[in-house]
A and B are shown apart, each in its own frame.
Chain A
Amino acid sequence: MSQIHLETLDAILEKHQCDPSQVIAIMQDIQKEYHYLPESALCYTARKLGISDAKIYGVATFYENFSLEPKGKYVIKVCDGTACHVRKSVPILEEIRKQLNVTEKKPTTDDMLFTMETVSCLGACGLAPVCTVNDHVYPAMTPEKAREMIREIRRKEGLDA
């Protein structure tokens, strides 16, 4: 588990005046910092806000954007909204999973380089099908383009594709 800096957490809590109704915004800031929600950070936050561990765990697990597991360096999101779906997003999804050797249950590669997720709609339906890598949008994707995209990232990381 990565190191939790209490000063960082205190600064985030301070920014939201330790207000329990701000718990979602606080967790968003924590996730921005660590790319996931470390258990110890959640317990610390719960104590500071005066709410129970169960309550904060309940909120954290309710919302899809929060992750209790560390994510890879590159988070690939494949849009499977209606518009992307009818313009054939599934073959792209399958190709990326095949390339990365990941599944729906195990979305992160062992080397912690990639995490593969599906999202319901990124709102860029005009460019369907789309996928994003760390919020950079790749428009009008095909399985071939997806392969090239992964190869490109691996090259950048000094790995042989």
Chain B
Amino acid sequence: MSEIKRINTRAELEQKREHFIQCLATQDKQILICGGTGCVAGGSLKIYDRLKELMEERDIACTVQLEEEPHDHSIGLKKSGCHGFCEMGPLLRIEPMGWLYIKVKVEDCEDIIEQSILGDQVVDRLVYRDKDGTPYQRQDDIPFYKQQTRVALEHCGHINAESIREYIAMGGYSAVAKALFDMTPEGIVKEISEAGLRGRGGGGFPTGKKWEQVLRQPGPEKYVVCNGDEGDPGAFMDRSMMEGDPHRVLEGMIIAGIATQAHQGYIYVRAEYPLAVERLSMAIDQARQRGLLGKNILDSGFDFDIHISQGAGAFVCGEGSALTASIEGNRGMPRVKPPRTVEHGLFDSPTVLNNVETYCNVAPIIQKGAAWYKTIGPENNHGTKAFALTGNVNNTGLIEVPMGTPLRKVIFDIGGGVKDGEFKAVQIGGPSGGCLCLSATEDHLDMHLDFDSLKKVGAMIGSGGLVVMNDKSCMVEVARFFMNFTQNESCGKCVPCREGTKRMLEILTDITEGRGTLEHIKLLEELSSTISETALCGLGKSAPSPVSSTLKYFRDEYLAHVVDKKCPAGQCKALVTLQIDPELCRGCTKCARLCPVGAISGSVKQPHVIDTHKCIKCRACLDGCSFGAVKEV
């Protein structure tokens, strides 16, 4: 390993960049294996090892790390960040052709080397095919990718996530240089304000305004904090960015430091993301060695350093004042505001607090300018948004689209449609968000996904989790699920959230178990409005959203549960009755033997019958029937 030299000036940074670009050019072909959590769980690291082994056996010059000095022609083999198409993982990309191989297995490695690396052929069986069987060799042509616009995720999946050299070769840290030498702090704040960048963590607060408020505060003790406590179940955008392009996050934070004249930064990462912590620590070490973090960055006289603070499993720590309390080593509980975080934040000092995705948008804005950024997305909602597309959808994964993209395009064109059924609803914004749906009275499919449009229908963009639900999902059960989550995660400081969510959960449980009354629905509405008006923090205030939004759009389902004692989707076990289809029953007597309460009667070779009064709905008959004659109605 060659010696790592500190980059002392802006000119040296540019020289290094030229140099690393040349080094990259000596790699005739590159194999990029997805090293995101999803693909690693699918075995992508074994594929990496096997490819390395095969290349060594065949004496193919293979470069796993871009070195300091140029070398002879070789094949680059690297672990990249998340490619996004998680449903099809493990994923493997071959450059410069841009081929994407899906669902790669260790046994496929030999063919990949023989055909695509030594030869110039695509391994046909590993290529993505759509529903109609049309093959797509190049990643960029696949509908899932073709309709995306990548800004924050620009490098994710395209570079070695563990290499600062590759990041520099891609133009990395040039925005820091520009901010340091060509711009004043006021100028940076103005550029960000003009671009109209709004916080990507949920609230959508204008980032420039936040920075301006911190800049106005007297120093020198100020902090830049990055919120990587992505606690919303079903969201993994921030994780993918921290894992796939950690230097991009650091660069955004350094620029925030220059703009607000802060000299210390903290990244708060949730404990469930060990790989993100590892990659960020590595990136911080590399940036320190290069002198891009620490004292006198690029000889500008500006000092800035970043530390990692790990969470320990508390959803509420995603809230600003709770997060700073947690970094200080306290119970992560929100406090009454004002004073705001911009005045009294971390260690009681003025603090810029933004989410990971927001910081990832900073470097491109500084580099390309506000005017460029404003060409993406509608007025007041500029830029792109990353979404984690999950649930009953064919193409689960990580996507990035311009703000204002219609929901239909996201679910059907990019997501490839709904899995195992018809589209019913999409839950957006996690436990603080609401539902968008398709029902007799509402059609949200043409809804534009941006801050302002979603607010109008009582939903929010949140951090960007999009959970698609098909017609087999019970919306009352979904509301109960979210309430269970919020209730578990309530920090207990204020009464409305601590007690209110508990009562709401009890009522929802009663409804799903068949004990609901019409009074309950009224009570739910009353509790919803009380909690959202009186809870202390933003998370408490939005805790009833999943309930109020399902009550608004799926009232019929609630009524079916409490009046008819039926679950239309057949999900609430207590409300389902089991019946034997006399046409299908062969009278084998197996179900009668399996039934623990003797509720099934009938003679041999004659259709059997379930006594619904005796039945305890254990489903032993359903699981045991070899002829599929037992049905839930």
**Which of A82, A85, A87 gathers the greatest number of chain B CB atoms within 10 Å?**
A82
Q: Which of A24, A124, A137, A139 contacts B312 (CB 8 A)?
A: A24
A160 interfacial contact with B, CB 8 Å:
no
With A59-B329, A121-B272, A125-B86 as known contacts, state yes or no: A87 contacts B312, CB within 8 Å.
no
With an 8 A cutoff between CB atoms, is B465 at the interface? yes
Complex Cα gap A119–B333 (Å): 21
CA distance A42 to B332 in the complex (A): 19
| B467 close to chain A: CB less than 8 A | yes
Chain B residues, Cβ within 8 Å of A21: 327-329
- Give the docked Cα–Cα distance between A128 and B312 (Å): 23
| Contact code string B552-573 (vs A, CB < 8 Å = 1, else 0) | 0000000000000000000000
0/1 interface trace, chain A 1-32, chain B, CB 8 Å (1 if under): 00000000000000000001111110110000
Q: Mark A42-65, 1 if CB is under 8 A from B, else 0.
A: 000000000000000011001111
Contact A123 B239 (CB under 8 A): yes
A130 within 8 A of B: yes
Docked-complex contact B234 and A83, CB < 8 angstroms:
yes
Q: A20-B329, A59-B331 are in contact. Are A121 and B233 (CB under 8 A)?
A: yes
CA distance A87 to B312 in the complex (A): 27
In Å, the complex CA distance between A139 and B309 comes to 29
| 69-125 of chain A: CB within 8 A of chain B | 80-83, 85-87, 119-125
Query: Do B89 and A126 have beta carbons less than 8 Å apart?
Result: yes
Asked if residues B313 and A64 are in contact (CB atoms below 8 Å), the reply is: yes
Q: What total count of A-B pairs have CB within 8 Å?
A: 125
Assess whether A66 is interfacial by the CB under 8 Å rule.
Answer: yes
Chain A residues whose C-beta falls within 8 Å of the C-beta of B273 in the assembled complex: 123
A27 to B313, CA, bound (A): 13
Determine whether B205 belongs to the interface, using a CB cutoff of 8 Å to chain A: no
Chain A residues with CB under 8 Å of B482's CB are: 82
A82 touches B329 (CB 8 A): no
Determine if A64 and B272 form an interchain contact, defined as CB atoms under 8 angstroms apart: no
In the bound complex, do residue A126 and residue B234 qualify as a contact, i.e. CB atoms below 8 Å apart?
Answer: no
Indicate whether B469 reaches chain A with its CB closer than 8 angstroms.
yes
Contact assessment for A127 and B313 in the assembled complex, using a CB-CB cutoff below 8 Å: no
- Residues in chain A near residue B315, CB distance under 8 A: 120
B interface residue numbers (CB < 8 A to A): 37-38, 40-42, 86-87, 89, 230-236, 239, 271-274, 309-315, 326-333, 388, 390-392, 396-397, 427, 430, 465, 467, 469, 473, 478, 481-482, 485, 488-489, 491
Chain A interfacial positions (CB closer than 8 Å to B): 20-25, 27-28, 58-59, 62-66, 80-83, 85-87, 119-128, 130, 135, 137, 139
Given A82-B234, A82-B391, A137-B37, 19 extra CB contacts under 8 A: A25-B309, A59-B330, A62-B314, A63-B313, A63-B332, A65-B312, A82-B430, A82-B482, A83-B390, A121-B231, A123-B235, A123-B239, A123-B272, A125-B236, A125-B388, A127-B38, A127-B41, A128-B391, A139-B41
Offer 30 A-B interface pairs, CB within 8 angstroms, sorted by A: A24-B310, A25-B310, A28-B271, A28-B312, A59-B330, A59-B331, A63-B311, A65-B271, A65-B313, A66-B313, A81-B234, A82-B233, A82-B234, A82-B391, A82-B430, A85-B481, A87-B391, A87-B392, A120-B233, A120-B315, A120-B488, A121-B234, A121-B235, A121-B272, A122-B37, A122-B272, A124-B86, A124-B236, A126-B89, A137-B41
